Amino acid sequence: MNEADFIAALRALPLHSAARGLADDCAVLMVGGETLVLTHDMMVEGTHFREGADMADVAWKLVTTNLSDLAAKGAEPVGVLLGHMLGSDDALFIKGLHEALRAFATPLLGGDTVAGKGLRCFGLTAIGRASHTQVPSRSGAAAGEGVWITGPVGRAMLGFEGASDHLAAFNRPVPRLAEGRALAPHVTAMMDISDGLLLDAWRMADASGVTFALDPVAIPVADPARADDCMRWGDDYELLFTAPADTALPVPAHRIGTVTARGEAPLQLGSTMLRASDRLGYRHG
Amino acid sequence: MNEADFIAALRALPLHSAARGLADDCAVLMVGGETLVLTHDMMVEGTHFREGADMADVAWKLVTTNLSDLAAKGAEPVGVLLGHMLGSDDALFIKGLHEALRAFATPLLGGDTVAGKGLRCFGLTAIGRASHTQVPSRSGAAAGEGVWITGPVGRAMLGFEGASDHLAAFNRPVPRLAEGRALAPHVTAMMDISDGLLLDAWRMADASGVTFALDPVAIPVADPARADDCMRWGDDYELLFTAPADTALPVPAHRIGTVTARGEAPLQLGSTMLRASDRLGYRHG
């Protein structure tokens, strides 16, 4: 099974209504009048980080990629559960974990520590409290609305390639928690751009049953000479969202396109129709 | 770092009050007037299951070992988040997952699916709702109380060794959810016996600052000729608990000893003082 087959098989299991049909990045669970947002991401050596990667960076990224999912829901972090496989550089892992928890005022709730013989594997469950209900999903974009992103894409790509100005963007991403909370009451759909702008925009448009017509010139990219790569690379963790076109946004953002009724394809980049999501960005599996 | 060092380092990080100082198997989180119980366990190939293990059994055990932690808190399952590394026999994994979720009326909330090149690694976060507050901990046992277990130990050991009558005990453990809910209002301390009766009893007595005086003849074991092995092997998932000696218990259980003021050691088995927890049971790390 590949990832898509596996997720399709999971959809046939008993799902909680909070799971949103496994079509979103988080579960949204009502508990005693409050709304919790739950997400779990794994990071595996050789897939999500290179062998020999700085374990402080790995721990930072494990925390912040999960918090980025909370940000896209306008949620504030309550705490995290850590799944940790022991190995080399565990003191560095603790250091990076501490830095991330402190930076985003997120305490540790618990977890599990295990021994393992192979490549390292870590998991993190982040729990947040929604600051605004209805909690944004991927599927609420409607024709006539605008499409925005909170910042440029491609910085993580340049950092991965070794550009010193952008190393932090790759190794130490910053979840847009404050922006997500400020935007949540205004947006009709929101997600973080973890797998690349074009792929994530395609997915949001597809989930919403509309077309996103993006203006390539309006998309802020870290390296204009490689605009296409910047739009396809992931790991940037800016927020992608839609809102009525005349919305007075509470935070700075870049208008990159317009939502239209569903046309030939979920995504249109300039005059190019992007029918399939293959090769638009990063895919696990 | 070994497991103990790593957990000690985690304790120096910002902890949520719900984390109970990382001294318990679950976090206990108050949300909007309700009490949630949260736990996360990982299973790694070569450590927690053998290469070539039936993936349906692995998935079952991933769910049920986490639900066993909820059982020890008297919590009823709300749902689970799955961290899954793709690999061989994923259809079997789905089958076992489905069987476990159905058997214990636990829906899927979400999770993550990743690719990996090495040994398989899975994680599961289980979320439960406490049926009784105060939620039992490990640390509430007091002198004069009785010590009980809900069933015999050693069945999983015999199943691991291939005894056909006990294969299910090893491959398909059953969390004592109903027993845990029934017992929660009556117990002063409770935990599941995942790492072996003697080690877990030592830990509970140590956390409570008391001594457990256990009567070896009273401990129900699956193979009386190997009573000592049965008390040290893990994976049985019966509940170990303490309560006032005259408590009318709501479920059948075996009285195996008495809580006394802290003596020379946390654990006394017959006339033997067990001062250190080394070699009492199964340790990860």
Q: Using CB atoms, pick whichever of A6, A38, A117 lies closest to residue B84.
A: A6
B54 annotated as ligand-binding: no
What number is the average pLDDT over the span A61-73? 98
pLDDT of residue A29 exceeding 60:
yes
Domain regions of chain A by residue span: 3-130, 146-274
Q: Do B85 and A121 touch (CB under 8 A)?
A: yes
pLDDT of residue B246 exceeding 90:
yes
> For A81-137, what is each residue's pLDDT tens digit?
999 999 999 999 999 999 999 999 999 999 999 998 889 999 999 999 999 989 999
Q: Are A186 and A247 in contact (CB under 8 A)?
A: yes
**Residue listed under structure tokens 């439960």:** B128
For residue B32, which residues of chain A lie inside 8 Å, CB to CB?
Answer: 31-34
**Chain A nearest C-alpha distance from B156 (Å):** 20
Q: Using CB atoms, pick whichever of B24, B79, B123 lies closest to residue A16.
A: B79
For residue A44, which residues of chain B lie inside 8 Å, CB to CB?
Answer: 85, 114-116, 118, 121
Mutation target to probe the B interface, by most B beta carbons within 10 A, among A43, A125, A133 is A125
Q: Do B81 and A48 touch (CB under 8 A)?
A: no
**B146-274 under CATH 3.40.50.300, yes or no:** no
For residue B78, which residues of chain A lie inside 8 Å, CB to CB?
Answer: 16, 29
pLDDT of residue B285 exceeding 60:
no
Residues constituting chain B: 285
Chain B touched by A244 (CB under 8 Å): no
The fold adopted by the segment(s) A3-130 is 60s Ribosomal Protein L30; Chain: A; (3.30.1330)
Q: Are A146 and A255 in contact (CB under 8 A)?
A: yes
Q: How far is the C-alpha of B68 from the C-alpha of B47, rounded, in Å?
A: 19
The complex's ipTM works out to 0.94
Name residues 102-131 of chain B within 8 A of A (Cβ): 102, 106-119, 121, 123, 125, 127, 129
Grade residue A282 by pLDDT with cuts at 50, 70 and 90. low
In chain A, the percentage of residues whose pLDDT exceeds 90 is 90
C-alpha separations of A190 from A35, A135, A137, A202 in Å: 17, 9, 6, 13
Sheet strands (E) in chain B: 27-31, 34-44, 75-85, 108-114, 121-130, 146-149, 189-192, 210-214, 239-243, 254-261, 267-269, 272-274
What number is the average pLDDT over the span A149-156? 97
Q: Using CB atoms, pick whichever of B94, B102, B119 lies closest to residue A9.
A: B94
Q: Using CB atoms, pick whichever of B42, B45, B110 lies closest to residue A27.
A: B110
Question: How many A-B residue pairs are in contact by the CB < 8 A criterion?
Answer: 246
Name residues 29-58 of chain A within 8 A of B (Cβ): 29, 31-34, 36, 38-48
Grade residue B284 by pLDDT with cuts at 50, 70 and 90. very low
Q: A160 Cβ partners below 8 Å, 6+ apart? A: A170, A233, A235
> For B55-74, what is each residue's pLDDT tens digit?
999 999 999 999 999 999 99
Grade residue B282 by pLDDT with cuts at 50, 70 and 90. low
Q: B131 Cβ partners below 8 Å, 6+ apart? A: B74, B75, B76, B181, B184
- Looking at residue B277, what is its pLDDT? 78
Q: How far is the C-alpha of B42 from the C-alpha of B1, rounded, in Å?
A: 18
A96: closest chain B residue by CA:
B13
